[in-house]
Amino acid sequence: MQSNSLAGRAARLLGLGAGIALLASAALAEPLKVGFVYVGPVGDHGWTYQHDQGRLALEAALGDQVETTYVESVPEGADADRVIRQLAASGHELIFTTSFGYMNPTVRVARSFPNVRFEHATGYQRAPNVSTYAARFYEGRYVVGLVAGRMTKSNVIGYIGSHPIPEVIRGINSFTLALRSVNPEAEVRVVWVNSWYDPGREADAAKALIDQGADIILQHTDSPAPVQAAQERGVWAVGQASDMARFGPDAHLTAIVDIWDAYYIDHTKAAIDGSWTSQDTWGGLADDMLRLSDWNAAIPADVVAEAEAAKAAIMSGELHPFRGPVRNQAGEVVVPAGDIVPDGDLLSMDWYVEGVQGSVPK
């Protein structure tokens, strides 16, 4: 019938049209532009390097579905706004800002670009188009604490702190709780260098701590100087952010390594398929957001076994570093036996547990 054939033709045409549109959209599917804002130079180790490794992993995993851009050494002041805005204005649809100081700039710029998705590392402010993400590095510090408790001879551990913010204090406490769970005699001495990266001051701090009898040096700073100082003086050290073994092969017990690869890949995929939502991620060992690098061959096998068992227990949820009883420096039980410090308190932690010497700078 005339009408039928007309309808049929129309349907075919429509179908063809839809097919062409589909083909065209597939062929024209532009790669998602993903921007990264770094606080330091990429270099070959440390905080920014690990974020850049995540970016490279993202490129390798998603190929021509993504196009990544990074801007390095962006100061955490007035400049951050401009860089983030430029990334948003130049077609980047997903932007990772990788330092705490970018929090307010990220939220400010996000207000002007409601269709761009932002992800801010280590902050606490979110918006419909701003997520936050961080890693539970304290889980790694706990495992390291067990090893330190077994390996120390002098029972003095030196700890180089960057800035007395909750992230760093939480790490010191987690480490100390593990340390004293296997060696109640051991104590932790902290030196603050008020910088994330200052090889000179970090080396001085390490030497001062070694002079005070420390035979294991921990650091929450980015330079390999403490590991090098430990190597020189024949004591142990634990690397930070990246595997630092090559800077002090004999001294390096292990390192707490930041891993952002899976996070960046998952969240970019979500942005591509439209399932991205604003959320807060605080992932740990179980989420593969941090790893411990290879154990030093000089660590006895039973110590390694104990550490690996603790790591597995943390991953399974059986062990929580901040399960009570937790005592403060005065020896008072502040977290009763069996209780776990809630995330909110961990995020604002500004007090030391028993076994840490000195006081938190206020």
Q: Which residues of the chain form contacts with other proteins (CB under 8 A)?
A: 35, 41-42, 69-79, 81-83, 85-87, 89-90, 100-101, 104, 124, 163-166, 194, 347-350, 361-362
Asked if residues 236 and 215 have their Cβ atoms less than 8 Å apart, the reply is yes
User: Containing H/E element for 5?
Assistant: helix 2-28
Asked if residues 130 and 267 have their Cβ atoms less than 8 Å apart, the reply is no
| φ/ψ of residue 334, rounded to 5 | -100, -20
Rounded to the nearest whole angstrom, what is the least distance from the CB of residue 207 to other proteins in the complex?
A: 20
| φ/ψ of residue 96, rounded to 5 | -100, 125
Closer of 87 and 341 to other proteins (Cβ): 87
Maximum pairwise Cα distance, the chain: 100
SS3 195: coil
Closer of 8 and 31 to other proteins (Cβ): 31
Rounded to the nearest whole angstrom, what is the least distance from the CB of residue 165 to other proteins in the complex?
A: 6
Closer of 37 and 148 to other proteins (Cβ): 37
Asked if residues 50 and 44 have their Cβ atoms less than 8 Å apart, the reply is no
Please name the residue that has the structure tokens 């100082």: 229
What count of other Cβ atoms lies within 10 Å of the Cβ of residue 301? 8
Closer of 81 and 266 to other proteins (Cβ): 81
Rounded to the nearest whole angstrom, what is the least distance from the CB of residue 131 to other proteins in the complex?
A: 17
Closer of 122 and 254 to other proteins (Cβ): 122
Closer of 28 and 78 to other proteins (Cβ): 78
Rounded to the nearest whole angstrom, what is the least distance from the CB of residue 184 to other proteins in the complex?
A: 29
Asked if residues 59 and 66 have their Cβ atoms less than 8 Å apart, the reply is yes
Closer of 10 and 347 to other proteins (Cβ): 347
Rounded to the nearest whole angstrom, what is the least distance from the CB of residue 105 to other proteins in the complex?
A: 9
Closer of 73 and 279 to other proteins (Cβ): 73
Asked if residues 65 and 32 have their Cβ atoms less than 8 Å apart, the reply is yes
| φ/ψ of residue 153, rounded to 5 | -100, -35
User: Containing H/E element for 304?
Assistant: helix 301-316
SS3 141: helix
Rounded to the nearest whole angstrom, what is the least distance from the CB of residue 75 to other proteins in the complex?
A: 4
Rounded to the nearest whole angstrom, what is the least distance from the CB of residue 71 to other proteins in the complex?
A: 5
Rounded to the nearest whole angstrom, what is the least distance from the CB of residue 67 to other proteins in the complex?
A: 10
Q: What angle do CA 63, 293, 190 make, to 5 degrees?
A: 120
Tell me which amino acid residue 112 is: S
